[in-house]
Structure 1
Amino acid sequence: MALSRHRIAVLALPDVVGLDLGTPGQVFHCARTADGNVPLYRIEVCTPGRAPVRSSAGYQVLPEHGLELLEQADTVIVPGVHGGPPLTDGTVDPTVTAALRDAYRRGARIVSICTGAFVLAAAGLLDGRPATTHWAWADRFRTLHPRVRLDPDVLFVDDGQVLTSAGVAAGIDLCLHLVRTDHGSAVANLAARRCVVPPWRDGGQAQFIQRPVPAVTDSGTGATRDWARRRLHEPLTLRDLAGHANMSVRTFTRRFREETGMSATDWLLQQRTDHARLLLESTDLAVDQVAHRSGFGTTAALRQQLHRRIGVSPSAYRRTFRAPEDDLRAPV
């Protein structure tokens, strides 16, 4: 029986950001079955009225579809825009608003990359929701859309049916996250390798926000992060991490947040959760063994963290994302 492919509609508006427009096609095209032969997604581009639009990179986009594509899509992705009403006065063409709202109402997943969040906000799809956009546009976004719970420090926000990402390369992070959500870490990791990008980036956009360069008085925390990843099963404390970095706890805490955009405690929990997910997908270890090897210690602690971060229990996650036997033999 032929595999039913998830259909993705990429909505290009005037002044669409070139890299944002190309990201979904590249990442989702690389998401394939373990043998690499069967694509898991179908990606198509549309514009209002099927009209050509000019990109911020200076070339025209000649779409094959109009807004009717949104009526059939499982996921709708809105790339960033470099100008126009969404950025200047917080509005969008009424036909675009109607098409996005209709897609949302029938259950399609709605996604934005970078300043595409301005489009979703103008369509009323972000009111009361957590969301993000490029940090450089955060102040304008707050002014135009005060009802949105903007978090400019993260790479992306997954709020269930509606997801938003920060600028440029964060769109890659979000697309890989969608692949990981749909098909598990093994497929996402292989897609990342084909794109020659990391399958997961630490921290958030806070690490990329322009700020004065700190005085070079201490070494960085990168070596300590690598050291900690190899010891996730151990009961690492903040003092242990600071000691490895030859810093005081206070200095280490400050430098870690500057370099990653998150606290050391949150980072460590994220690493342990990701490792637990990989073990659940790729091994036959009992859940209590997964909890031990990923550093949570107890099944209850693993269950609590996994439910808090992705909303499912370890057993439910394994049933949903456990790879077939052929996938377990594939390189990761």
Structure 2
Amino acid sequence: MNQDFVHPSKKRVIIVAMTGNMLLNFSGPADVFINAEKYLEDCGIFDGYDVKVVSPGSNKKVDSAAGFCINCEYSVADIQDSIDTLIIAGNDSREASQLSLIEFYNWLATRNEQNTRRIASICGGAFVLAKAGILHGRKATTHWQSSERLSKTYPDVEVNSNPFFTKDGYVYTSAGVSSGIDLSLAMVEEDYNRDIAIHVARKLVYYLSRPGFQAQFGILLPVYESDNIGQKTQNWLNEHLHEKLDVSQIASQLNMSTRNFTRVFHRETGMPPAKFVEKLRVEAARKYLEDTDISLERLAELCGLGGLVSMRRTFLRHLNTTPSDYRRAFRTSLKDSGITELLSQDVASLANTR
């Protein structure tokens, strides 16, 4: 092995850039640890981080989702001794790639608590750790869109789609791609102290501890097929969310009895009608919070969420955040381009129908 690769006095951080993924999967964590290393040296601390982004394949090439190829200096095959922090950045689930990944999975199977202080995954990298058996019986997090699939594919893994990252023993898993930055900052704080981590976060113009939970980003209702009863009722419901709705009223729109409607609705959507309506109200409220400046009181009325206290409780239950915090985090960046005025007209039109 090239002796320049080895820095025994530093914590070796190996980031495996899985092919076909977004650049932020590996560039985000790499930037955190590289900036931490620079700041540590400025502080006279010379046992910081030695960061290497490596390929899973022996050809040392990584295809990115951006359409260009990254040439890594090293591959996992070059690493046979101990690692401080191993990060699996993303997952290459393409059928055509599986044969070439056999060597990588064989290598990953040799990694354990004796030769690797901590093993982590970014986004879909949780599937890689699960496939390698590293997540067996452990708590784990992945992107909210993939959580259900991870749980079904690996039922021995306790999947939680809510936090930005999860730690279970020496294994760390994170949510969507930007969550790799959250996790890496937490690791820097764990290794040194909060002040070091805060400096890196400020350098990257990022939160040290991002407020909220991953639930804020998820979609509460799936997209149903056109013949699904959820989709059949959704358009009508969207126009009547400001009204007090009951199951019999919704059932009558489909010329069904209340009992039969409830049975069919639960079977085809996986939830009772009342829960579906509540989620639809929250989704409508999210859109108003993102795109308009209307008051929370008026917004609660338009979406049928009752008063401010009731709407706040409903948001906390579904999104783990309050309406006001959600607005601050997700309000539109197009506020000055006329979109607010257009949406305000829609709100006024809806109000006039009452």
Alignment TM class, shorter chain as reference? 0.5 to 0.7
**Residues 81 and 115, structure 2, Cα contact 8 Å, conserved in 1:** no
Amino acid across the alignment from 2:192: H
The alpha-carbon distance between structure 1 residues 141 and 3, as it changes in their structure 2 partners (threshold 3 A), is closer
Question: Which residue in the other structure is 2:88 paired with?
Answer: 78
Determine the C-alpha separation between the residues in 1 that align with 2:80 and 2:199: 28
Q: Are 2:102 and 1:102 equivalent residues in the alignment?
A: no
Task: State, as a whole percentage, how many aligned pairs show the same letter.
Answer: 31
Contact residue 49 and residue 66 of structure 1 kept, 8 A: yes
Tell whether 2:54 aligns with 1:46: yes
Q: Deviations over 1:212-233 (max 9, x none)?
A: 232768739xxxxxxxxxxxxx
| Alignment-derived partner of residue 188 in structure 2 | 179
Q: Deviations over 1:244-269 (max 9, x none)?
A: xx943x5433334555459xxxxxxx
Residues 17 and 81 in structure 1, CA contact (< 8 A), matched pair in contact too: no
The yes-or-no answer on 1:60 pairing with 2:65 is no
Q: Is the 8 A contact 1:9 1:70 kept in 2?
A: no
Written as runs of structure 1 = structure 2, the 5 A alignment for 1:81-230 is 81=91, 83-85=93-95, 93-108=101-116, 109-211=118-220, 212-214=283-285, 219=296
Partner SS state of residue 56, structure 1: coil
Amino acid at match of 1:15: G
Which protein has greater RCO, CA pairs closer than 8 Å, 6+ apart? 1
**Aligned length, in residue pairs:** 233
Query: Counterpart of 2:109 in 1: which secondary structure?
Result: helix
CA distance 1:133–1:116, shift in 2 (3 Å): same
The answer to whether the 8 A contact 1:138-1:152 is kept is yes
Listed one character per residue, the Cα deviations across residues 19-77 of structure 1 (whole Å, up to 9, x for unaligned) are 11211211111112284576721110222214312011112121111223263321111
**CA–CA separation in structure 2 for the residues paired with 1:70 and 1:45:** 15
Q: What displacement does 1:203 show? A: 2.3
**Structure 2 residue aligned with 1:5:** 10
Listed one character per residue, the Cα deviations across residues 122-168 of structure 1 (whole Å, up to 9, x for unaligned) are: 11100110001101112221222111111111110011210000001
* Deviation for aligned residue 1:186: 0.6
Give 3-state SS (helix, strand or coil) of 1:197's partner.
coil
Instruction: Return the offset for 1:95.
Output: 2.3
Distance in 1 (CA, whole Å) between partners of 2:191 and 2:81 is 21
CA distance in 2 between counterparts of 1:72 and 1:61 reads: 25
> 2:13 aligns to what SS in structure 1?
strand
Contact 1:92 / 1:123 at 8 angstroms: preserved in 2?
A: no
Contact preservation (8 Å) 1:8, 1:75:
yes
Letter in 2 for 1:76: L
Q: SS in structure 2 opposite 1:176?
A: helix
Q: Which structure has the greater CA radius of gyration?
A: 2
Structure 2 unpaired stretches of 5+: 1-6, 221-282, 289-293, 298-306, 323-354
CA contact (8 A) 1:14 1:84 kept: no
Say whether the 8 Å CA contact 2:138–2:158 is kept in structure 1: yes
- Alpha-carbon distance between aligned partners in 1 of 2:41 and 2:113, rounded to the nearest angstrom: 34
Alpha-carbon distance between aligned partners in 1 of 2:100 and 2:314, rounded to the nearest angstrom? 41
